[in-house]
C-alpha cells in the first residue's frame, strides 16, 4: 500500500483549500490537473454522500464499480491522488453534502463506520478500496442534514486508528455553516478533535457579503480558543469561487484578499481560505490563483491601489544561496503608477547585496511575477533581461561587489484595486560561470 508523505503544513496561515468532484460549474478538470496548480494546498473530494451504506459520487469522474456492487472503483482517481500527494498536497474525502442519505442512529454506529472508512479509504486493508492503494490524508464532515447522533464517536474512533498508525499524519476537518453554533455539527465540534474547520461564509446572513458588521469570524475564533477540543484548530474562510457557486456570499478576489488579510492580522486561529469549488474558482477568472497568491505572499504587502505616482508599497527581503554564492535580496521600493482605465503599471526595484566576499562569477536572477501580470517594459541598468513564462530573467556576466539595483516596470490588464511586490523568497539566483 502506498503511503505518500505530504509537505502540507496544517499550522500555516496561508493554505488554500478547494473542494473537487461535483463539477458545480458544469464541467471540471481531473483531480490530477487541479493538483498541478501550485495554488492549491488541500483538495477535498466530494462526496461520500451515503453512509453507513457507502456510496460515492464524484460526478462522472468515476463510473466503474466493483463486480456485483454499486460501490465505485476509481483507479484513475487513485493515481491522481498519489500524484497530488507527491506534490505536497493533502487529499481529503468529504462525507455528507447538501444532498444525500446519511447519518448514524447511535454512537456504536459511528464507531463501526469509522472502522469501515479506515479500511476503505485510509490506512486499513479492506477488500474493496475505491481508490485502491492510494491512502487519503483524512476525512471531512460536511453534515447538512439527518441526525446529529454518532459523529463525535465516529471521530474518536478514527482518531484511535490514527494514533495507532505511525505511517503518516491524518486530519479530521469539518465544514459548518457560519451561523453559530452550527445546527448539525455544533455538538460534535465541541467534543471531538478537529484539525481544520472550513466555515461556510456564504448562503447565510453572516457571510462574506455581510463583512464587516455582520461577518461573524470573531464568534468562531472564540469557539476555537475556548470551546474546541483542539485549542490550536485552524479556521478557514469558506468562500464561493464564483458568482454562480452560491446563492449569496460571493465577493471578488480583491475583496476577499482584503478580508483575509484583516482576519489574519487579528486572529491566530486563521488557517487560510477554502473554496467551493475548484471548477468555479479555477476558471478563466483565475479567482483561485489570485486568492492563493495573496495568502502565500503574507497579505501584508497588499495596499489599496491609488492613481498617484510614488506610492510606497513595502520593503521585503530574503536570503538566497546558489552554490557557493550567498546573497541577500531586498525589494526596496514599490510605486503604483496610474496609466489608464484598463492598464495599471507597477514599478519596483530589486537590490542584491553580497552576504560575504564579492562573488567572482556570473549570475542569473529569476523573478516570478504575480498572477495576471504581463510585462510592458523592464530595465536593468546594463544587464541583459528577458521574459520567460511570466518570469523576469536578469543575466549579469560580471560579479556582485557590494550591491546592484534592478528597476522594473510591469503592467497587467484589469489588475483590480490591489497589487504588490513579488515575493523575494521565490526569486531564484543561479550561477552562470
Q: Which residues are catalytic?
A: 144
> Can you read off the three cell numbers belonging to residue 272?
487560510
In angstroms, the CA 271 to CA 60 distance is: 31
Q: Which helix (H) or strand (E) holds 303?
A: strand 303-304
SS (H, E, C) 258-284: HHHHHHHHHCCCEEEEEEECHHHHCCC
> Can you read off the three cell numbers belonging to residue 52?
453507513
For 172, other C-beta atoms within 10 Å of its C-beta total 23
In angstroms, the CA 392 to CA 72 distance is: 47
Q: Which residues pair with 238 in a beta bridge?
A: 200, 274
Query: Torsion angle of alpha carbons 352, 355, 359, 363, nearest 10°?
Result: -40
Q: Count CA atoms closer than 13 A to 66's CA, side-chain side.
A: 14
In angstroms, the CA 361 to CA 431 distance is: 7
In angstroms, the CA 395 to CA 364 distance is: 4
Strand-pair category, 363-368 with 428-431:
antiparallel
Q: What DSSP string describes 151-180?
A: HHHHHHHHHHHHHH--S---EEEE--BSSS
81 three-class SS: helix
For 40, other C-beta atoms within 10 Å of its C-beta total 25
- The angle at the Cα of 146, spanning 241 to 129, to the nearest 5 degrees, equals 70
Amino acid at each position: 500500500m502506498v503511503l505518500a508523505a505530504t509537505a502540507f503544513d496544517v499550522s500555516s496561515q496561508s493554505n488554500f483549500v478547494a473542494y473537487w468532484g461535483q463539477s458545480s460549474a458544469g464541467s471540471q478538470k481531473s483531480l490530477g490537473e487541479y493538483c498541478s496548480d501550485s495554488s492549491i494546498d488541500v483538495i477535498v473530494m466530494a462526496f461520500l454522500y451515503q453512509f453507513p451504506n457507502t456510496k460515492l459520487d464524484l460526478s462522472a469522474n468515476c463510473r466503474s464499480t466493483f463486480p456485483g456492487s454499486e460501490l465505485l472503483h476509481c483507479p484513475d482517481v487513485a493515481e491522481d491522488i498519489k500524484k497530488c500527494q507527491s506534490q505536497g498536497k493533502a487529499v481529503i474525502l468529504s462525507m455528507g453534502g447538501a444532498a444525500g442519505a446519511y447519518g448514524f442512529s447511535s454512537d456504536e454506529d459511528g464507531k463501526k463506520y469509522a472502522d469501515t472508512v479506515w479500511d476503505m479509504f485510509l490506512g486499513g486493508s479492506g477488500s474493496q478500496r475505491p481508490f485502491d492503494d492510494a491512502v487519503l490524508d483524512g476525512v471531512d464532515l460536511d453534515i447538512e442534514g439527518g441526525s446529529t447522533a454518532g459523529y463525535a464517536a465516529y471521530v474518536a474512533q478514527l482518531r484511535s486508528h490514527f494514533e495507532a498508525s505511525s505511517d503518516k499524519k491524518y486530519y479530521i476537518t469539518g465544514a459548518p455553516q457560519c451561523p453559530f453554533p452550527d445546527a448539525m455539527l455544533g455538538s460534535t465540534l465541541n467534543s471531538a478533535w478537529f484539525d481544520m474547520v472550513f466555515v461556510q461564509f456564504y448562503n447565510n446572513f453572516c457571510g462574506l457579503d455581510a463583512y464587516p458588521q455582520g461577518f461573524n469570524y470573531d464568534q468562531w475564533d472564540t469557539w476555537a480558543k475556548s470551546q474546541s477540543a483542539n485549542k490550536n484548530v485552524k479556521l478557514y474562510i469558506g468562500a464561493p469561487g464564483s458568482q454562480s457557486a452560491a446563492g449569496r456570499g460571493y465577493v471578488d478576489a480583491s475583496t476577499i484578499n482584503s478580508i483575509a488579510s484583516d482576519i489574519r492580522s487579528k486572529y491566530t486561529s486563521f488557517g487560510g481560505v477554502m473554496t467551493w469549488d475548484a471548477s468555479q474558482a479555477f476558471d478563466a477568472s483565475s479567482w483561485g490563483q489570485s486568492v492563493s497568491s495573496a495568502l502565500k505572499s503574507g497579505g501584508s504587502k497588499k495596499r489599496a491601489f491609488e492613481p498617484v505616482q510614488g506610492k510606497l508599497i513595502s520593503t521585503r527581503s530574503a536570503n538566497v544561496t546558489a552554490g557557493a554564492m550567498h546573497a541577500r535580496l531586498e525589494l526596496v521600493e514599490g510605486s503604483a503608477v496610474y496609466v489608464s482605465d484598463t492598464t495599471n503599471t507597477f514599478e519596483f526595484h530589486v537590490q542584491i547585496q553580497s552576504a560575504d566576499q564579492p562573488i567572482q562569477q556570473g549570475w542569473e536572477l529569476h523573478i516570478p511575477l504575480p498572477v495576471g501580470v504581463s510585462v510592458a517594459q523592464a530595465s536593468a541598468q546594463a544587464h541583459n533581461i528577458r521574459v520567460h513564462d511570466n518570469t523576469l530573467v536578469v543575466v549579469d556576466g560580471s560579479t556582485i561587489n557590494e550591491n546592484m539595483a534592478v528597476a522594473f516596470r510591469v503592467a497587467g490588464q484589469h489588475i483590480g484595486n490591489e497589487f504588490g511586490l513579488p515575493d523575494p523568497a521565490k526569486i531564484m539566483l543561479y550561477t552562470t560561470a
